[in-house]
Structure 1
Amino acid sequence: MLAIAPVTEPVIDVWQRYHTDMALKRTTVYLDENDLRDLKIAAARRGVSEAEIIREGVRHALLRNRVWDEPVNLPLVSSGDPTFAARTDEILDSMNLESDAE
């Protein structure tokens, strides 16, 4: 038997948010049987519509594939060590960044 997690955000709030923040347009998405089954289960667990999960996935995919028109303006810093870039692996190894979970 499938246990459904409690709803974390009322469905009506999600629905109202999308209708007040943006105009939605209808489209068709084709999914294979397994993805559709998993989508239905995830929506039921979260207490949201299948469309909400699809919109969230589209937003994530768009952010992951975004092409910036302008380069990100990050500050440049100097380590003062002209060999720093060539020694990056050595420096990172010496920092002992291994996880405690091992």
Structure 2
Amino acid sequence: MRRLNRRKTLNLVKELDAFPKVPDSYVETSASGGTVSLIAFTTMALLTIMEFSVYQDTWMKYEYEVDKDFSSKLRINIDITVAMKCQCNIECKTF
């Protein structure tokens, strides 16, 4: 009994067609359509090969240099917020 269910299930899966085919009467082949398809596929293949070759040949070159200018100064602004209770006797003000 179990094999019968498997066969029915297998046949159902084989007959299932999620994307129905276009009838042959709707399809018209032409030399110009084939030529356009070949040009498009060739262009896509060439672009894919070229992108892959650029990907393979690209490499990063890191260079480090010590700053020798001692007179210059780097200005850094830091904003700090401290979340603490005020422990003073005078009135605390927030700036």
Q: TM-score, normalised by structure 2?
A: 0.23
Higher relative contact order (CA 8 A, sep 6+): 1
In terms of Rg, which structure is larger? 2
